[in-house]
Amino acid sequence: MKTLYKYILASTLLFNMLSCKHQQTVTKSKDPSSTKPEKTSNSLKKQYAIKLGVNESDIKNEMLYQFINEWQGVPYKYAGKDKAGIDCSGLTSTLYLKVYNKTISSNTKALVGEVKKISESDLKEGDLVFFNTNGKSISHVGVYLQNHKFVHASKKKGVMISDLNEPYFKQTYVRSGRVK
């Protein structure tokens, strides 16, 4: 039964990834001095606006959402740091390097010390959200997006977007921080 479930899940993820890539088109850059083609992001903006419950015009950091699009569904693997498997802090540090060109720790407890503590009401895109999921201490991290949504690597579902208002995350939320 588990094998069938994994096959169905893998097939669904593959279909979703291929259909998302198929929707993107390539156009010439509006900058005449540029020789690189630029991906049209209308479908990506629309996709994430729907997922986050915001307007398309609110999706401004296209690199962030392209990164999420490419990593979504990657399975969880403790201490993993690539698309074969990744954990929450590995995802967070990889995202920061690729999207913001900043090197941060790939250890959740170390990350707590690398951020300026902020209140949940002050969260902005790119801030970190920390959770106590093991009942002992801060043990999980995600990157805040918009509208109470954040991206993280879940042990059960891999890289995904969740909502801070979900009962589980409301119960386990500890604090938020902004990378210095």
Which residue numbers are catalytic?
88, 140, 152
- Under 8 Å CB-to-CB from 10, ≥6 apart: which residues? none
- Under 8 Å CB-to-CB from 95, ≥6 apart: which residues? 64, 67, 68, 71, 143, 151
DSSP state for residue 121 in the 8-state scheme: G
3-class DSSP assignment, residue 174:
strand
- Chain centre to alpha carbon of residue 138: 19
Give the pairing type, strands 149-154 and 85-86. Answer: unpaired
Q: What are the residue ranges of helices labelled H in the chain?
A: 2-23, 42-52, 62-71, 88-100, 108-113, 167-172
